[in-house]
Amino acid sequence: MIISTYLGNSGRKYERTRHNIAWMMLERLSFYSRLNWISKFKGDYARAAEPESIHLKPATLMNNSGESLAAALNFFKLSHQQLIVVHDDLELPFGTIQLKKGGGAGGHNGLRSIIKLTGGADFYRFRMGISRPPANREVSSWVLSRFSPDEEAHLDDFCREAAEIFESALSGGLKPGNKTQILNF
């Protein structure tokens, strides 16, 4: 059994922002419309039969994602080896994904919360590139901003193709590897 957690922020003002790219990808999973979401663990979760998995969407703010995830892991008696966190990543160019196992928080407060509250960092990460902010831009305002018009034009394709790759990783076993550039523009 795998538990997939999609990091983002609740509320209309955060829709289609860089920090919510994981939620945008979640909605493009081929089985998304068949998921029956239940409110629990300070968020919403759903079970999928194929592939057998649990999907969690924390309703806490991004920086407190660990609260939701720790409760779900405890309830389902799952370990870090059964966890994959889907999140935005500044270190990857927009249009790039990477499946990675382990590592630090890398400045990502959602990951920091998960590491702190679940007691470990040895979980899988499905990193979705949102690029670094320009030199004159604060990171916090960058991740909470909408995508540029050029990025917005390619955002749906990025999320759709990332969802296909994510499903393949879930179905075929998780295999961390190289970065994958989905979009070239």
Catalytic residues: 19
CB 85 within 8 A of CB 126: yes
Tokens representing residue 85 in the block: 């966190």
**Separation of alpha carbons 41 and 3, rounded Å:** 13
113 secondary structure, DSSP code: H
CA 103 to chain centre: 15
Q: Is the peptide bond prior to 133 cis by the omega test (within 30 degrees of 0)?
A: no
Q: How many CB atoms lie within 10 A of CB 39?
A: 9
107 secondary structure, DSSP code: T
Tokens representing residue 88 in the block: 């935005």
**Separation of alpha carbons 77 and 94, rounded Å:** 35
